[in-house]
Amino acid sequence: MLGPVILAASRSDTMRRVVSAAPVTRPVVNRFIAGETVDGTTPVIQDMADSGLEVTMDVLGEDITDPAEALHARDAYLKLIEALAPLGLGARAEMSVKLSSFGQALRGGHDLALRNITTVVEAATEIGTTVTLDMEDHTTVDSTLAIHSTLRERFPETGAVVQSYLFRTEDDCRALAAAGSRVRLVKGAYKEPARVAHQDKGEVDKAYVRCLKTLMAGEGHPMIGTHDPRLIAIAQELAIRAGRTPDAYEFQMLYGIREAEQRRLAAEGHRVRVYIAYGTDWYGYFMRRLAERPANLAFFLRSLATR
Ligand code: FDA
């Protein structure tokens, strides 16, 4: 019940000001955000790599309101790519990008976002790595998948994200399960209306399994973005059934969530990629993490109360 309330608050400017200013917020935020700057985050990336984990890097930011901010966001990714180059990790350290931070929602935003992301994908390709387009609320899906399709003409390894809570996603999975495609399947983190998305958690999970079956049986590279132990077990089973070797799919989890499980799966020989978010614009990302798990909110409120 609390999840939708927190998700609504995640898009409120007033709540953004209140939560960001609360002195106790920071330690809770730090659980999910690896750092504020690229230099501060590089040691985390190296540590993950040393533990046999791969990463996908998210420079925090979304829903920008003017084109100058879009260029700023693009440049932050270019700076990240510069910092990744000397680590020599290649595709073991890729990028995740929210197109709303590249101007997608502005007037003429589709083309603006395409121009900005193309520059980033070109730079990523030069250091031997890839980019995955995060998926945001349902109004952005057509534009994001169209940009993904355009990018794939020159950069076939560009990844897409699909959200099992959306009714349309089973069709999208069928379309995306083609040779060479990289598709991250997640449950979905935004507040969506009942006309476009399953509202019941059980239905979201069942849809996730149906999508997983399509992706595993297809010819692409499935990226299983979940912390849900049941779905992880089902994915392992489906991979065996589809005759996939461990390099032909990967698990993905968020920084700060189920870290022991991340390391356990990697130690068992699975590919595991950790989604690492960093930067100062953490509010929306943080609130979605609170919404996913009421226990996180309780922890946050307890720290407020004990001050
Ligand atoms: P579920 O929410 O059922 O959680 C399963 C278990 O995982 C919980 O019981 C708990 O143990 C643990 N857990 C989950 N969330 C937690 C949290 N916040 N804090 C602590 N423990 C937690 N969404 C989206 O809409 N667009 C996107 O582009 C992405 N990208 C993305 C990348 C990656 C790598 C991941 C893992 C997830 C995303 N998501 C996303 C978020 C996704 O849609 C979803 O909201 C979360 O993954 C939570 O769902 P689970 O599948 O983990 O299941």
Q: Can you give the pLDDT at residue 11?
A: 78
Residue-wise pLDDT for 9-46, tens only, equals 887 888 787 777 777 677 788 899 999 999 999 999 99
**Residue 168's CB: how many other CB atoms inside 10 A?**
15
> Is 245 one of the annotated binding-site residues?
no
Catalytic residue among 92, 184, 271, 273: 184
H or E element, residue 202: helix 201-217
What's the mean pLDDT in 65-84? 97
> Is 163 one of the annotated binding-site residues?
yes
Q: How confident is the model at residue 169 (pLDDT cuts 50, 70, 90)?
A: very high
* 293 is a catalytic site residue: no
What's the mean pLDDT in 207-225? 98
* 63 is a catalytic site residue: no
Residue-wise pLDDT for 231-282, tens only, equals 999 999 999 999 999 999 999 999 999 999 999 999 999 999 999 999 998 9
Average pLDDT, the chain: 93
Q: How confident is the model at residue 305 (pLDDT cuts 50, 70, 90)?
A: low
How would you classify the pairing of strands 159-163 and 131-133? parallel
Q: In testing the pocket of ligand 1, which one of 257, 275, 290, 299 has its CB within 8 Å of the most ligand atoms?
A: 257
Task: Give the rounded percent of residues in the chain with a pLDDT score beyond 90.
Answer: 81
Answer whether 292 contacts ligand 1 (Cβ < 6 A): yes
- Select the more confidently predicted residue: 172 or 10: 172
User: 160 by DSSP, 3-state: which?
Assistant: strand
What interface predicted TM-score (ipTM) does this complex get? 0.98
Q: Can you give the pLDDT at residue 24?
A: 63
For the CA of 98, the closest atom of ligand 1 is 28
Q: Can you give the pLDDT at residue 28?
A: 81
Please give the distance, rounded to the nearest whole angstrom, from the Cα atom of residue 127 to the centre of ligand 1: 29
Q: Where are the domains of the chain?
A: 33-281
Q: Can you give the pLDDT at residue 45?
A: 97
Closest CA to 271 of 242, 232, 234: 232
- pLDDT surpasses 80 at 204: yes
> Is 233 one of the annotated binding-site residues?
no
Nearest residue (CA) to ligand 1, atom 5: 228
- pLDDT surpasses 60 at 117: yes
- pLDDT surpasses 90 at 96: yes
Answer whether 140 contacts ligand 1 (Cβ < 6 A): no
DSSP state, residue 101: G
Closest CA to 184 of 53, 104, 273: 273
What's the mean pLDDT in 197-222? 98
What CATH number belongs to 33-281? 3.20.20.220
